[in-house]
Amino acid sequence: MAPRTPLRIGAATAALVLGLTACGDGDNGGGGTADAGDEFTFGIIYPQTGPLAFLGPPQEAAASYAIEDINNAGGILGTDVPALNEADEAGDAGQANDAANNLVADEVNAVIGAGASAMTQAIYDTITGAGIVQCSGANTAPELSDIDDGGYYFRTAPSDLMAGPVLAQRMVEDGHVSTAIVARADDYGSGYLDAVESELEGLGADVVHTDTYDPDATNFDTVVNGVNGSDADAVALISFEEGAQLMAELLEAGIDGDQLYLTDGLNDPDLGTTVNENDPDVINGTTGVTPGADAPEFDEGLRDFDPDLDVLQFAPQKYDCVTTIALAAESAQSTDPGEYVEHISDVTRPPGTECTSFEECRDLLDDGDDIDYQGVSGNIDLDDNGDPTTATFEVFHFDDDGYGIDDYVDYAYDD
């Protein structure tokens, strides 16, 4: 097991994170009139196709695994949960919204997803406007803290305002003092770029170059020339799948693998082959940061559940979305989103009794206790706006032994 490193973030960054949260009023209407004992149905919108399709299998598997654990413990309010009602976001806003409309028409009790933050931007009004709870274990865009969701949108994945400082600190710890940042020209890229740049400067490093690019671009010469002209000694690359081509061009231009720092969109054990099929080792030395979990028992159980899984990115967070919602329904003694929504944040934070599984937490609730669910992704402690206030990150790395996890970093605020 890799060591765990605590990360203390300064007050200015903490204020920025907390300032983006705004309490929802929870009065959204809709949501049906389901009572305790009624069947609870989960819908899930995730990338079955599109640029993030490689991250789809662990998200679906983790949600299904959570349902299996819930059913093994007796179901939600004594009734087994049926299999997931699945829908494809496809990396396309129109298709994602059609999928969301289908789940609303099916009268699901909660929606897990979307996978990509941009897809949630496209669908949340459809879902939360219908009075249905939505919880994503993969959305990281800071802008999602401020959406008008009536209090029905939650996430267990940490904001990029948390991840950016972790990436910046790793770059500085590795001795880099003159840095460049390249990002997708979208909400994900711009929010992450700002967080990395702010923390790098706060740590005393020079940010000598920043650039954004069209995610649909087929040629990155301008970006590569800008990085080379900056004489930066490290490059933070905030990308999805298209970043593999950009990496190939940067490496061909003379940037070394140990100068490249990646985000969650490129956390793929097969990245080397994607970048250069003939020489996968060309990316050796590359480091990245992604939301993760130091949860070996969960990883083992999920791989037993689905032996075909490769990367497990966002799987713990998806599992926690399903489990948290199930516990909220138990706490409210109702499957009606309009009833249990008020319990979601409460079941994840003090002063309740700490518990680590659906069954253990459900039994405490049955005994009349308040609970503080400790997720497999960490101690999420959702705030009143539905954002996690603590998080664990994985630092991944490529070297001669292939892909591996170097470290786990706990994000925390300075008092």
- pLDDT on residue 31: 39
Together in a domain, 205 and 352: no
How many structural domains are present in the chain? 2
* Of 187, 183, 31, 25, residue with least CA distance to 121: 187
Are the C-beta atoms of residues 53 and 60 closer than 8 Å to each other?
A: no
* Structure tokens that stand for 279 in this block: 């020489």
Together in a domain, 222 and 75: no
- Lowest-confidence region among 179-193, 198-212, 246-260: 179-193
What is the average per-residue pLDDT within 268-290?
Answer: 96
Count of residues making up the chain: 415
In whole angstroms, give the CA distance from residue 394 to residue 407: 6
Please compute, for residue 176, the number of CA atoms within 13 A of its CA located in the half-sphere on the CB side: 26
Q: Which amino acid is at 227?
A: V
User: What's the pLDDT band for 411 if we cut at 50, 70, 90?
Assistant: confident
Please compute, for residue 374, the number of CA atoms within 13 A of its CA located in the half-sphere on the CB side: 9
* Of 80, 87, 89, 81, residue with least CA distance to 104: 87
What is the average per-residue pLDDT within 203-210?
Answer: 98
Together in a domain, 362 and 400: no
Together in a domain, 153 and 168: no
Q: Is the pLDDT of residue 313 over 50?
A: yes
* Contacts (Cβ under 8 Å, ≥6 apart) of 158: 140, 291, 388, 391, 393, 411
Pairing of strands 206-213, 234-238: unpaired
* Contacts (Cβ under 8 Å, ≥6 apart) of 243: 237, 262, 265, 266
Q: pTM of the predicted model, to two decimals?
A: 0.81
Range of the domain at 169: 161-290+392-413
Are the C-beta atoms of residues 169 and 199 closer than 8 Å to each other?
A: yes
Q: Is the pLDDT of residue 155 over 80?
A: yes
Are the C-beta atoms of residues 215 and 241 closer than 8 Å to each other?
A: no
- pLDDT on residue 11: 35
User: What's the pLDDT band for 40 if we cut at 50, 70, 90?
Assistant: very high
* Structure tokens that stand for 36 in this block: 């305790």
Together in a domain, 237 and 282: yes
Q: Could you tell me the CA-to-CA distances from 46 to 69, 86, 87, 90, 143 in Å, in that order?
A: 21, 8, 7, 8, 20
Degrees to nearest 5, angle at CA 208 with 202 and 214: 105
Degrees to nearest 5, angle at CA 87 with 300 and 155: 60
Together in a domain, 39 and 140: yes
Q: What is the 3-state secondary structure (H, E, C) of the chain?
A: CCCEEEEEECHHHHHHHHHCCCCCCCCCCCCCCCCCCCCCCEEEEECCCCCCHHHHHHHHHHHHHHHHHHHHCCCECCECCCCCEEEECCCCHHHHHHHHHHHHHCCCCEEECCCCHHHHHHHHHHHHCCCCEEEECCCCCHHHHHCCCCCCEEECCCCHHHHHHHHHHHHHHCCCCEEEEEEECCHHHHHHHHHHHHHHHHCCCEEEEEEEECCCCCCCHHHHHHHHHHCCCEEEEECCCCHHHHHHHHHHCCCCHHHEEECHHHCCCCHHHHHCCCCHHHHCCCEEEEECCCCHHHHHHHHHHCCCCCCCCCHHHHHHHHHHHHHHHHHHCCCCHHHHHHHCCCCECCCCEEECCHHHHHHHHHCCCCEEECECCECCCECCCCCECCEEEEEEEEECCEEEEEEEEEEEECC
Q: Is the pLDDT of residue 274 over 80?
A: yes
Together in a domain, 17 and 153: yes
- pLDDT on residue 186: 87
Are the C-beta atoms of residues 213 and 182 closer than 8 Å to each other?
A: yes
Are the C-beta atoms of residues 114 and 91 closer than 8 Å to each other?
A: no
Together in a domain, 107 and 237: no
Are the C-beta atoms of residues 148 and 166 closer than 8 Å to each other?
A: no
- pLDDT on residue 310: 81
In whole angstroms, give the CA distance from residue 68 to residue 80: 9
Mind listing the pLDDT tens digit for each residue in 51-95?
A: 888 889 999 999 999 999 999 999 999 999 999 999 999 999 999
Together in a domain, 156 and 166: no
Together in a domain, 130 and 165: no
Together in a domain, 251 and 312: no
Together in a domain, 344 and 398: no
Give the CATH number of the domain where residue 203 resides: 3.40.50.2300
Q: Is the pLDDT of residue 412 over 90?
A: no
Paired with 46 in beta bridges are: 88
